[in-house]
Amino acid sequence: MSSDQNILSAQVDLVKIVSRYILLEQSRRNLKGRCPFHKDLATSLMVSPEKNQFQCFGCGKGGGAVEFVMAIENKSREEAMLLIAKG
């Protein structure tokens, strides 16, 4: 069974969403970038395409696509899900 054809690929692509806001660079199996949620001089924000989750090692923020959009757009969960659904 191919791992890239699992259930995650049918869900929201977190990497694509995060890439709209910040520049991501490949870091082994993850991607990393400068966290938009705190003043980040390093690349503290890690995005895992496998887990479809992000985690910042600077400010501790983390979660999935909905949590990312909620935080960066300052939206409610419902509004964030609508934004994601619209693409």
Identify the residue among 38, 51, 76, 78 touching Zn ion (CB under 5 A): 38
Q: Least Å distance between CB 39 and Zn ion?
A: 9
| Consecutive H or E run containing 84 | helix 77-86
Q: How far apart are CA 43 and CA 24, in angstroms?
A: 9
Contact 65, 17 (CB under 8 A): yes
Identify the residue among 19, 34, 37, 75 touching Zn ion (CB under 5 A): 37
Q: What are phi and psi of 59, to 5 degrees?
A: -110, -10
Contact 66, 80 (CB under 8 A): yes
* Contact flag: residue 18 with Zn ion (CB under 5 A): no
Identity of the residue, 37 or 81, whose beta carbon is nearer to Zn ion in the bound complex: 37
Site string for Zn ion, 39-68 (x = CB under 5 A): -----------------x-xx---------
Helix (H/G/I), strand (E/B), else coil: 1: coil
Residues that bind Zn ion in the complex, under the rule CB under 5 A: 35, 37-38, 56, 58-59
